[in-house]
Amino acid sequence: MLFKSDIKLLVVHCSDTPNNNNIDASYIHNMHLGFGWDGIGYHKVILRSGKVENGRPEYWIGAHVKGKNQTSLGVCLIGRNKFTKKQFISLEKILKKWKKSYPGAIIIGHCDDNNTKKTCPNFNVIKWSKNLKL
């Protein structure tokens, strides 16, 4: 169980699938089930169209950032390194909402966590979110 006060990090991910693959949350759900997890590890998924799909509810601990799942929420952009304008608009909306709900939390990209060698989500989330004053 995640409590509001637990959440210190809002972590942005990508699905690391080819940019032209229009997969959705149910695809990721099945993929993560295949890893032996309790289904999709993210809390939100943003499709190439900009549509937002729900993953785990926000009170449920995610599976997306090693060692910090107890203190974070995760959102995943479908794609690898080129995201659509609509995806960025949706990402901004989600993070704005989360910042309101979890005012103490900071926004990072998965790669900004020092516990991973991944480059996910392949853009500078900190710089992007600062530019938008998130």
- The residues binding Zn ion (CB under 5 A) are 13, 110, 120
Please, which residue, 34 or 103, has the CB nearer to Zn ion?
34
Please, which residue, 48 or 64, has the CB nearer to Zn ion?
64
- The least CB distance from residue 104 to Zn ion, in Å, is 22
- The least CB distance from residue 110 to Zn ion, in Å, is 3
Gap between the Cα atoms of 120 and 123, Å rounded: 8
- Residue 42's CB is within 10 A of a number of other CB atoms, namely 25
Please, which residue, 7 or 108, has the CB nearer to Zn ion?
108
Q: Which residues pair with 11 in a beta bridge?
A: 74, 108
Gap between the Cα atoms of 105 and 113, Å rounded: 14
Do the Cβ atoms of 75 and 120 come closer than 8 Å? no
Please, which residue, 2 or 125, has the CB nearer to Zn ion?
125
Strands 106-109, 9-14: pairing kind: parallel
- The least CB distance from residue 12 to Zn ion, in Å, is 8
- The least CB distance from residue 93 to Zn ion, in Å, is 20
Task: For residue 100, give the nearest of 2, 1, 3, 4 by alpha carbon.
Answer: 4
